[in-house]
Amino acid sequence: MLAKLLIPKAREIQQRFATRVKEEDDLTLPPQIVCGLDASYVGETAIGVAVLLRFEDMKIIDQAVVSCRIKIPYIPTYFSFREYPPLSLAFTSLNRIPDVCFVDAHGRSHPRRLGAACHFGVLRNIPTIGIAKRILCGKTQYSSNSWSPLLHKEEIVGAEITTKERAKPIYVSVGHRITLETAINLTRQCITKYRLPEPIRLAHRLATDYRGKLKYKI
């Protein structure tokens, strides 16, 4: 019942924040430092992970893992309210501010154009890119370019890109203070030998490892 009562207010916040998202390049290019952000959960405990890397060689220069209690339930399309606290805590624990953040979540590719990547970017006022492994809304349209547009209600909300031959595609979308074209280009430049861009892959691996250790303790 509590979750149902929160939805109207959450929807209003999403709609308001969505108007504050900037889809223009307002960042240092090429970036020097990039960040990968991910969150994982064990019951009501949320694990937030932030990993800083040098853009030129994708080497880790700092990382942070935090945990906090989260009582906000999982509600489809309102996930950013659950994700923001642990992500923000981890980000605050880093020793420097990156030029751009990759968030393991949707950005504009969301029914109300405010996935967790946008939510985080707007509140922290930092350039962000959403990286998702599956479609939340809309469908892709074939393109002869190196990426296929993800359309929702006749609007391009993201891009489907294939980073490795015979690998499943990933979905890139604007988070904040960046254009979709730049988000795609930076994502490709952060691909090493794996399907996911390195900031996301490393953050996800760290979150998974810590989650396993926490489950063992419980």
CB 185 within 8 A of CB 40: no
Give the pLDDT confidence score for residue 145 in this predicted structure.
77
Task: List the domains of the chain with CATH numbers.
Answer: 25-217 (3.30.2170.10)
Q: How far lies 199's CA from each of 26, 97, 188, in Å? A: 20, 15, 12
Supply the pLDDT for residue 72: 86
pLDDT in tens, 9-18: 999 999 999 9
pLDDT tens digit string along 134-175? 999 999 998 767 899 999 999 999 999 999 988 999 999 999
Residues in the chain with pLDDT < 70?
1-5, 144, 215-218
pLDDT, position 40: 95
The first and second tokens of residue 101, run together, are 């953040």
Find, among 162, 167, 108, the residue nearest to 136 by Cα.
Answer: 108
pLDDT of residue 217: 62
pLDDT of the residue at 2: 43
Measured between alpha carbons, how far is 115 from 137 in angstroms, rounded to an integer? 11
